[in-house]
Structure 1
Amino acid sequence: MKAAIISFTARGALKNRELAALLRKKLSCTGYSFYKYALEGQTAFREVRSLTETLFSSCGLLIFIGAAGIAVRAIAPFLKEKDRDPAVLVMDEHAVHVVSLLSGHLGGGNDWCRQVALLTGAEPVITTATDLNGVFAVDLFARDNGLFIEKRERIKEVSGRLLHGEKVGFYSELPWEGELPELLVPCEKGGDGLLRPRLVEEGEKGDSGLPECGIIIAAQPQAVRFPVTCRLIPKDLTVGIGCRKGRSGAELSEFLQTVFQKFDLDKRRIARFASISLKEKEAGILELAFAERAPFLTFTAQELEAVPGKFEASGFVRKTVGVDNVCERAAVLGSGGGRLLVPRQAAGGITIAAAQRMPVIRFYRNDKGN
């Protein structure tokens, strides 16, 4: 992930340089200072709006050193969605306070706010209600477990009920471990196919009523639902991909859509793309991965050759790239040894396969969700 620090004064430039040096131990970080005060190693700028427009789409973390109003006006024209906007922090030039301004949960703003506070000695300022009240945060839980939130507006439904002390149901098709946070009620399918609260121990008494609002973790749409459902989709698929040089992102996207429709798969389940290292700079694949907001991994021919299993072999492919199959082997290796769910599909000089690795859902935090 890339980070950028933006400052506007001479004192801010000094703090910018100090913080950038500390953050570079964790991630790629560039300091930007107003041209009158830029120090050696910093990039000078004259107009903050155009700079912010560039950084907003290329960085995962922006830190403004200066007045909060400047930061708000700078980022306002470029706000998109909670799961797409970068984390934005604001810190005063004396490092008295650092404020989590945007993308506190999904973008990691609150976590970065705490980290920057530790690095600089500033007081972290976090205004997210679930953090302040020690309540389970479904968006943070989804981010930590690699889950896609189907309807982001349901985050407010879940958080609002928990903040008011209401119980929220929890049903997962995937195995989970850890302590269920307070007010979350584990549910299961009954013999009639409907959801009902699950008693933790045999003979334990509990509320027999199904909560009105609940969380469901499932790869496919469920017939069983809560009256108000927040569905989380596991990112459990690795797409192995190969193509002739020069295939466009649009062509790859169209074929990917065709394959996923054929196998009744949801593209929101894609965790990553994988291929051979010869394709690491293939523009079409990079474009596709960017469009699907998924990382692109590559492996050497030797690494792919060592993957155990039965794969569709091609002498031509081996002669061309040094291994008998790229897409299937890359899918399995990229998934960490998952099950080949979609065998090699080929058309128009493009090959696609997909492997599934069943994740284990974890509750990392204590029973209050933090």
Structure 2
Amino acid sequence: MKVDIIAFSTKGCQKSLDIAGCFPEDEVNLFAKTTADSVGIEKVECSMREWTERSFAECDAIVFVGAVGIAVREIAPFIRNKTVDPAVISVDELGRFCIPILSGHIGGANGIAVRVAGHIGAVPVVTTATDINGKIAIDAWAVNNDLSIVNLHAAKDVAARILSGDPVGFVSDVPVKGDVPPELSADEASTGVYVGNGDARPFETTLRLVPRDCVLGIGCRRDTPEEDIEGMVSRALAEAGISMRNVRAAASIDLKKDEAGLLAFASKHSLPITFYTADELNAVPGEFSKSGFVQSVTAVDCVCERSAVKASRGGRIILRKYAGDGVTVAIAREDFSVDFTRYRK
């Protein structure tokens, strides 16, 4: 996760250093927009509008250390919708209150706020209705379980019925761990949740949640355009009988870590992409396609297949090397289940 933290006073900068300690495994960048002492934190020379626009486009979470009004004014021009907006949290400069103000569920702002508050000793101020009423937030549960939300409007209907106490059903084609919460346990309901890869609609109003259980392994010639990668991936997905909704991540060899087209493709689809060394890929066990030419260039016999398996969680190849337009694509699919013990995180 990439996190930007920005403060507006010396006390705020000091608090930023405390907050950064909450993200030991994440990419954290500290900034200061102040003429006062920034305690060594990089000062922002451009306008706040420019800084926020860049951060909004690049980060998974933004923490404003200062008045909540500053955060609201700065992010307002860049808000699009809850499926793509980053988590935005506001913390006062003394660290007394920690407030998630955007993307509380899908973006994870509520969970991040609770995490930060626990780290610095603040009070988390969470205001979303499902959370304060102790009910499942179906969109947050979906994100925590690597599920794509197909129809956001239905998610709103489900949430409204949960809050009003109306019956909501639940059907899953994948294994379920933990007890299904009472809010989703209605035997008969006109509104409900379906988890699976099919097009089933077991309820009059069905919230479809698709497992993100596939990983793309991608190889390409140098300077391959994004549109060529996009086209080959689309054809590969169609060949495998799945869609981009099923894709959780992508991977390739480290020789491609600066490949503009590949990076642009991953960014367009909000896919984390991992690059592995030749040694790491060659160490992946299994039977893979072989290419003498690829071996001579990369020291790996099949970049796409090995990358897909390496980046997956014990996945198996469901589509072997699929090639064209200077691009190779392979797809690995993971074993998948959903877990209701995750829903209050």
TM, length-normalised to structure 1: 0.87
Match of 1:175 in 2: 175
Q: 1:1-370, aligned counterparts within 5 Å? A: 1-20=1-20, 22-23=21-22, 25-45=24-44, 47-185=47-185, 197=187, 210-222=188-200, 224-365=201-342, 369=344
**Relative to structure 1, is the Cα distance of residues 292 and 365 closer, same or farther in structure 2, using a 3 angstrom cutoff?**
closer
Aligned-partner Cα distance in 2 for 1:4–1:135: 30
Aligned-partner Cα distance in 1 for 2:320–2:19: 48
More deviation, 261-270/245-254? 261-270
**Relative to structure 1, is the Cα distance of residues 217 and 93 closer, same or farther in structure 2, using a 3 angstrom cutoff?**
same
TM, length-normalised to structure 2: 0.93
Q: Structure 1 residue 329: deviation in Å?
A: 2.2
SS in 2 for 1:153: helix
SS in 1 for 2:35: coil
Q: Structure 1 residue 60: deviation in Å?
A: 1.7
Q: Look up the equivalent residue of 2:99 and give its one-letter code.
A: V
Match of 1:192 in 2: none
1:291-333 deviations in Å (ceiling 9; x for gaps): 1111112333333334343332222222222222221222223
Bigger helix fraction = 2
Aligned-partner Cα distance in 1 for 2:301–2:65: 53
SS in 2 for 1:239: strand
Aligned-partner Cα distance in 2 for 1:327–1:29: 30
Aligned-partner Cα distance in 1 for 2:253–2:4: 32
How many residues are paired up? 344
Q: Look up the equivalent residue of 1:240 and give its one-letter code.
A: G
Aligned-partner Cα distance in 1 for 2:192–2:234: 30
Aligned-partner Cα distance in 2 for 1:163–1:337: 38
Runs of 4+ in 1 over 6 A off after TM superposition: none
**Relative to structure 1, is the Cα distance of residues 19 and 300 closer, same or farther in structure 2, using a 3 angstrom cutoff?**
closer
Larger Rg: 1
Q: Look up the equivalent residue of 1:145 and give its one-letter code.
A: N
1:263-286 deviations in Å (ceiling 9; x for gaps): 432111111112223223222211
Aligned 8 A contact 1:38 1:44 in 2: no
Aligned-partner Cα distance in 2 for 1:279–1:28: 21
**Relative to structure 1, is the Cα distance of residues 8 and 307 closer, same or farther in structure 2, using a 3 angstrom cutoff?**
closer
Unaligned stretches of 5+ residues in structure 1: 187-196, 198-209
Unaligned stretches of 5+ residues in structure 2: none
Q: Look up the equivalent residue of 2:103 and give its one-letter code.
A: S
Aligned-partner Cα distance in 1 for 2:79–2:271: 20
